[in-house]
Amino acid sequence: MATKTNDTAPLLGGDQSSNNYGSFPSKNGYTLSPSGLATIVSQSQLGAISAYDGISKLASQIGCTDLKSGLSLSSSATSTQREKYGSNALPLPPAPSLWMLLWAALEDPTMLMLLASAVVSLILGLGIERNFETGWIEGASIGVTVLLVVSVAALTDYAKASEFRDQQIKLEDGKHVTVVRGGKSSVSIHPRDLVVGDVVRLAVGDIAAADGVVIQGSDDMKMDESALTGETALIPKTAAEGGDREGGPGDDPFIVSGTNVIQGTGLMLVLAVGPNSIQGKILARIREQEEDDSDHSAETEEAKSAFSALRAFFTFGGSDSGATLMDKLDVLAVDIGKMGLIVAVGVFLIMLTQWLLKDFIVGGPCPELVDEDDCLSTLVCIWSAAPSGGGTCGRHFVAEDVSTILDYFIVAITILVVAVPEGLPLAVTLALAVSMKRMTEDANQVKHMDSCETMGSATTICSDKTGTLTENKMTVMSARYAGYQYDHVVGQGGQDNSLGAKMLSAFKTNAAKSRLLCESILLNVSPTSTVSLNPETGSTFYVGNPTDCALIKLTQQLDCDADSLRVAFKEGTSMLDWGVHSIPFSSQRKRMSWMIRRADGSVSLPYPGRYRMYSKGAPTQMLAACTSFVTDITAAGATSTKPLEARDRQVFMDMVATCQSKGLRALALAYRDFDDVPKGGWGGNGDLETNMTLITVVGIEDPLRPSVPGAIAECHKAGIDVRMCTGDALTTAVAIAKGCRILRVSDLGEGGQPKTGFAMTGAEFDDRVHLKDPSKPKTVRRVFDPEINDAVDRLAEPFLLDEAGNKVLDQKVFDDLWPTLRVLARCQPEDKLALVRGMRKSRVFLDEARCAALFNDHGIRIFPDYQVVAVTGDGTNDAPALKSANVGFAMGIAGTETAKQAADIILLDDSFSSIVQAVMWGRNIFDSISKFIQFQLTVNVVAITLAVIGAFAFNDSPLSAVQMLWVNMIMDSLASLALATEPPTEELLDRMPYGRRRPIISVTMGANIIGHAIYQALILNWVLFAPSSLPLDPPVAFEPTQGSLHWSLFFNVFVMLQLFNEFNSRRLPTAQKLRTTWSEWNVFGGVSRNPYFVAIMIFTFCMQVFIMIYGGVAVNIIPGGLTKAQWLFSVAVGAGGLIWQVLINVIVVVFSPSDYEEEVGLTPTELEEAAYEETAASKWDQVRIGVRRGALYSEVFNTDIKTGIKISKLARCAATSEKSSRSFRHVFSRCINVKTHQ
């Protein structure tokens, strides 16, 4: 590693040479204290291992006396290690306190201005006017209301932070590591339970949970340390040697916490944990830096010119380059704030100007006074004597005028408070937080909050097969072994017809056949893979690799004891669980192998050589590496073999094809005998896995999850394409894709096979979509062989690489390929990565001709916007694709830690159905936020409009500062909680996704906002300017002042309008939904499913009643409140908004374009033809188009619209007759009877 050299200073100074357990061992300057051990790792001090005479003796010095057995299982032993060397628990970031959040909320400029206004109001009322009875009320009311608003915001933020912290703890609780303790080779514990001296198992995909040193590892073990060094090159790791050497210059046995195992397996001795590990120290430094940053202000940006700042301020909206919902909300919030500021400043200037003109320039009460004595007696007027005698009485500025200006300022600030959408981020946070919590119940553990919303826009899901579409409960269903074919038969009654039972029955007189098969399985699987039986239910429980578990289950059915068999091959000097060497599985070789010794102690085995290698892998690669196959095994154990000729290979390949056509995964097992250790050792010979003898080919079934076909059908209905990326053979992948309906009937051609381009291998995909570099010599690489329909290694032109060394994608070829691609078999991680990146860059939706051809030829409808791609992955190599996707899903059960780190959401049950739930939650988040925006913008438009009207008409706002703050709380904190917590429904999957270019305010939302703003403005202006005409007895007098009955009634009507409009905002129907279902017209539908909404509506109404009765002067309400009749009127006009919503819906249905027009993209003429030919367009479309065309004909023929519609129908009939060459008589008989108007 580039950062680890022997002359590097320790990350933390000092050394803990002793603690309560006495002094730590120290030798040749290497101290085994917590900080000393951390230094050994951070500085790669190989000399420390030599100083203590090898890794075994160093381990004994830190508490691990036997590396093979590990630490003791007793809790006292681990507690001692933890107290001595520290805990592996890294503290979570400190949670913000409630007081900190309160202070942060008070730092909002508008809140500070209101508080300052409250203080000034108190000073004027009590100090200057000395009105001790009522002078304090306005200032105190504003102060209390501001504190209430701030408290609600702080409490909400505190709850949000606590929720997020709980989510982080849950994510941490789901982690585990495997250690060797008490002689048990596989003990699963939480990473926080690791202690110094533990022996940890490392496998591909694991993330090191502590610092340590490799004590045993495969020859190809490599780590990704880019998280630490920033270098992408993989770092080889070698096991630490004994005490007789310092180690070579390239030897690096040290492993750092937070780094990933990319290749190989090994055992690691833990040396540093928690705050002493490199990861812990880096985290501590980051937090120190954050504290420093909070104490020192950041450098200010270069000042912009006044013109640039002004231009930026008056620039509204953003680009449509595929922005996320969060980006759109940021733009919307800024635009609303700008408009609010403009209106607030305008209202303040208007009121101030009118007051100055009236009282100081045009004249007020002073000009009416004619003599000096009267003028001076008013205290607000002054007598100015003229030089020629006489004089004039004029207005002068007094202390009370400060209160008037302050009132105007308070009104302006409160308008700004109402306009600024503080509730928007609150609504987003609430919607995301509630969704995250509830998504966990649906087996979706969310790591990144914004990924919830992104899933609502997903247009494509690239899914793995194993475990996601299938149950990941594999079972061996067929085997060709020793010259016989064995198949699983579905049991009848209580009869056991499993493959294992049939083979056990056949092997009764020949146990040697069972032994060879069991050895080839049990001695060549992952040590962490186990199969246990639940005696109560009779079901089996798999832990580890599912394929290994399926094979182990077969050996159990053959009555083979795995533990006793493995003990016979345990090597006394090896850290391996058995055998002398292992070669882990790799996606390049597509096989794994394990070497064992011929005999151990008293055990003598009938092997012709001293060593045997067992290997298993993909049949194509294994058959190519085999030269013979087992034909029979005698009872004495003698194995008969035969050369593997072309005819024999074809027999096995036919079996493989049969398995794949049934959706089974085929696997081949083989062996090779060695007389001695090969030259160069087991790890230095690349030809070990050749010249093997084939033992058997098995077919393994992974049953399709019952819920998957329905879930994929839901995706298709929701406008989401599903693509399968799997490492299985093409035939197997196609069979599974048919079963789960990824390949639909329309995607299949003759013989039930996929059409060209609908299914292909990763090799073909890779070869077609990437550019080649003909200027360079040919090289051996993976290419697609059409004869065998699979990948082979052969000479071919190398790929063209960019500056970063990545393959260059031919976007044009890719765009021709991906729209029809449904199955990608033999898929490697880089193929999945190319697919994800290419789709995200694709602009196929802009090619109308191409989209139309795809729809006409294959029934494929390309989403008319940027592709939003979700990807599932479980392996370490899937991490780049998971990162590159819009949303990455990692498997919670089968996924590696690396995949989980790279993902946005973890599928706790590894099921595809859970992804569909995530889509539903994502769409619900978008809709919840949109509902709140619709409600808030309606209130904003009405409140600002009335504030402007009040400023012009009355030089005052009809809503006082305290009243506006209450309205602000209704529409921000309370409304966001009510509308952002609506639960999702299945109806969310009945529409297409929302595109990235789609404006956040849709046509229907715009119609609702404008429609309700008009209704509310009409009602409120009626109350404001003509109160005496209201249907009330006694009539309400026109008295436009704060605290009057007139403006008290106005305030109550305003709040009732908002309360009932919250019910209207619960629905966001499209025009098509309104045309096709009556449920979308019912704004009360499903309201009982959201207890938050019901509780908040009741609370808000009760608070309004309390304010109107007891608010009095503090809230500028007439003492005693309103009468029953006035309350009934307020509620009635508020409920009138529900009826008004029906009228808005009718207008939307009649005049807005239908979803059919937008999706199909027909021209208006073509759409009209389609409507009259009764295609997908609904009756509503026909009515709307008929009215539109009828109006046109009525103008042309100067007749009424009813006759115009009839003429339109007759013209349509005539046009149809021309196309079909039918007689006019026949046409006329088909048409309606139209009276000709001469």
> Mean pLDDT for each 10-residue chunk of the chain (1238 residues)?
37 44 80 90 87 89 88 86 86 73 73 68 63 64 71 72 68 78 84 91 84 85 72 78 49 85 86 86 64 44 46 54 63 74 83 80 59 64 63 71 78 69 63 75 79 86 85 86 84 61 86 91 88 72 84 91 87 78 80 80 48 92 93 87 92 90 90 86 77 94 86 90 89 89 89 89 92 89 78 86 86 94 89 92 90 89 90 77 88 75 83 87 86 85 81 78 74 75 83 80 87 93 91 87 88 93 85 74 84 90 91 83 92 94 87 50 37 38 50 51 57 45 40 39
Six token digits for residue 489: 């038969």
> How distant, in Å, are the alpha carbons of 290, 515, 555, 566 from that of 559?
61, 10, 6, 15
pLDDT of residue 282: 73
pLDDT of residue 142: 65
Q: HSE of 29 in the Cβ direction (CA atoms, 13 Å)?
A: 5
pLDDT of residue 869: 93
DSSP 277: S
pLDDT of residue 1223: 40
pLDDT of residue 1206: 58
Nearest to 672 by CA among 725, 608, 737, 762: 608
Nearest to 991 by CA among 840, 1159, 855: 1159
- Which residues are within 8 A (CB) of 907 and not within 5 positions of it... i.e. 6 or more apart? 443, 444, 445, 468, 872, 889, 890, 891, 892, 914, 915
Q: Which one is catalytic: 211, 464, 721, 831? A: 464
pLDDT of residue 643: 94
Six token digits for residue 739: 């079963």
pLDDT of residue 810: 93
- Inter-axis angle of helices 423-441 and 325-356, nearest 10: 150
Distance of CA 715 to the CA centre of its chain: 17
Nearest to 203 by CA among 233, 179, 174, 227: 179
- Say how many residues make up the chain: 1238
**Cα(416)–Cα(342) distance, integer angstroms:** 9
Residue with structure tokens 């919307």? 332
End-to-end CA distance of the chain: 96
Residue with structure tokens 């733009």? 331
Nearest to 834 by CA among 794, 799, 884, 898: 884
**385 has which bridge partners?**
391
Pairing state between β 665-674 and 611-617: antiparallel
**Cα(895)–Cα(174) distance, integer angstroms:** 12
Nearest to 209 by CA among 278, 288, 262: 278
Strand order across the 823-825 sheet: 444-446, 905-907, 887-891, 869-873, 460-463, 721-725, 823-825, 759-761
pLDDT of residue 602: 35
Q: DSSP letters along 913-928, please?
A: HHHHHHHHHHHHHHHH
pLDDT of residue 434: 74
**Cα(92)–Cα(7) distance, integer angstroms:** 32
**Cα(884)–Cα(830) distance, integer angstroms:** 11
H helical segments located in 1090-1163 = 1091-1110, 1124-1151, 1155-1160
**Cα(125)–Cα(1057) distance, integer angstroms:** 34
**487 has which bridge partners?**
478
> How distant, in Å, are the alpha carbons of 428, 574, 1018 from that of 1110?
34, 84, 29
DSSP 801: B
Count the neighbouring beta carbons within 10 Å of the beta carbon of residue 313: 12
Pairing state between β 199-202 and 484-487: unpaired
> How distant, in Å, are the alpha carbons of 113, 157, 846 from that of 100?
20, 11, 50
pLDDT of residue 1202: 56
pLDDT of residue 10: 34
Residue with structure tokens 């003796």? 57
Count the neighbouring beta carbons within 10 Å of the beta carbon of residue 1149: 21
pLDDT of residue 12: 35
**Cα(124)–Cα(1093) distance, integer angstroms:** 42
pLDDT of residue 1162: 36
* Residue 207 and residue 897 in contact, taking contact as beta carbons nearer than 8 Å: yes
Told to judge if 464 belongs to the known catalytic residues of this protein, a careful annotator would answer yes
Count the neighbouring beta carbons within 10 Å of the beta carbon of residue 192: 17
H helical segments located in 388-489 = 400-419, 423-441, 450-455
